[in-house]
Structure 1
Amino acid sequence: MSVDDALVIRTTDPADAPALARLLTQMQQEYGAPHPELPAVEADLTQLPTGVDIFVAERPDGSFVGLAAVANLYPGPGLSGGFFLKELYVSPQARSSGVGESLMRALARAARDRGFRRIDWTVATENAGALRFYDRLGGAAQTDRFFYRLGPQALDALADR
């Protein structure tokens, strides 16, 4: 049985909040990142902002083993839309089993179905495994751009100017 036969890749709905909150919390814990308590994460997930889609890899038993969180972007090439992939996460027990590729394939299909012409994402330069994975998918590293971030203090300082 292939991973595609054993998984359903789909977008989430508000009823998925408890299972998705557990997977997101697992991701944050693995990365050593702070996160709110599960009830707060669940509440946020029932009210996702417009233009955000979360795709999940769901096993036949209903458990989630991976996710891809994307935001719809405009404009893109030729003034078409695109996706920005914010998070691609596969639980440790499901890694190297094709879950990540199944999620990315579903994103590519969804983008094409929506008339989008591109998916963009960032990856940590020290994450060699992710770099190899994205290279295998056909992703092209962009060397003509820098990635910027306004963190909480800089965001507040700019907003208060």
Structure 2
Amino acid sequence: MMEAEIRLLQKDDPALPELAALMLEMQAHYRVYSPPHDEIVQGIANRPAGAEILMCENAGPVIGFVAFSAIYPGPGLKPGIFLKELYVAAAHRGSGIGKALMRALAGIASRRGLSRIDWTVDASDAQLLSFYESVGGSPKPDKLFFRLDGEALKDLAG
């Protein structure tokens, strides 16, 4: 891997605009809607308490990130981490950035006494499945991913 620095995003971090630009790239990669750059910057700056972001910078530019939150409880009533998003800029894929970000996240979990890292993955993306297995992850076929959003969320909330 090239010389790169991995660090936690800080409040009022000067890298916010670069991180937002990488998130724009990510949304385009997944072919999903993205708000304008300024809204992304505001969303990152005003993210909910407990939502953290590790960034990988290469002499300035943000070239990868992992967004995560602590969760509780888990198996054995132990806390863990939920990895929401891992993304590496297209120009830097295959250079070890993703593995370095996962290693840094595992280090955070270990230092904080968290027992595991959970995440979801697109079941049809063989390359991504292979990557996560290469860092030691294992699929949990006995679990399903659910989401409550849109009208169903509003209806349930009353």
What letter is aligned with 2:55? V
**Partner residue in 2 for 1:33:** 32
Q: 1:128 aligns with which of 107, 126, 129?
A: 126
Structure 2 unaligned regions, length at least 5: none
Q: Following the alignment from structure 1 to structure 2, what is the Cα–Cα distance between the partners of residues 44 and 154? A: 23
Q: Following the alignment from structure 1 to structure 2, what is the Cα–Cα distance between the partners of residues 126 and 66? A: 22
The answer (yes or no) to whether the contact 1:19–1:64 under 8 Å persists in 2 is yes
SS in 1 for 2:48: coil
Q: Structure 1 residue 79: deviation in Å?
A: 2.2
- Pairing of 1:104-119 with structure 2 (within 5 A): 104-119=102-117
Encode CA deviations 1:90-118: one digit per residue, 9 max, x unaligned.
11100011000000000000000000010
TM-score by length of 2: 0.94
**Partner residue in 2 for 1:78:** 76
Verify: 1:47 aligned to 2:55, yes or no. no
Encode CA deviations 1:14-61: one digit per residue, 9 max, x unaligned.
22211111111110011111111111111121122111110111102x
**Partner residue in 2 for 1:12:** 9
Q: 1:95 aligns with which of 88, 93, 96?
A: 93
What letter is aligned with 1:52? A
Q: Structure 1 residue 6: deviation in Å?
A: 0.5
**Partner residue in 2 for 1:67:** 65
More displaced stretch, 72-81 vs 24-33? 72-81
SS in 2 for 1:139: coil
How many residue pairs get aligned? The number is 156
**Partner residue in 2 for 1:145:** 143
Q: Structure 1 residue 12: deviation in Å?
A: 0.7
Q: Following the alignment from structure 1 to structure 2, what is the Cα–Cα distance between the partners of residues 140 and 155? A: 31
Q: Following the alignment from structure 2 to structure 1, what is the Cα–Cα distance between the partners of residues 129 and 104? A: 19
Q: Structure 1 residue 66: deviation in Å?
A: 0.6
What letter is aligned with 1:150? L
The percentage of counterpart residues that share the same residue type is 41
Structure 1 unaligned regions, length at least 5: none
TM-score by length of 1: 0.93
Q: Following the alignment from structure 2 to structure 1, what is the Cα–Cα distance between the partners of residues 135 and 45? A: 32
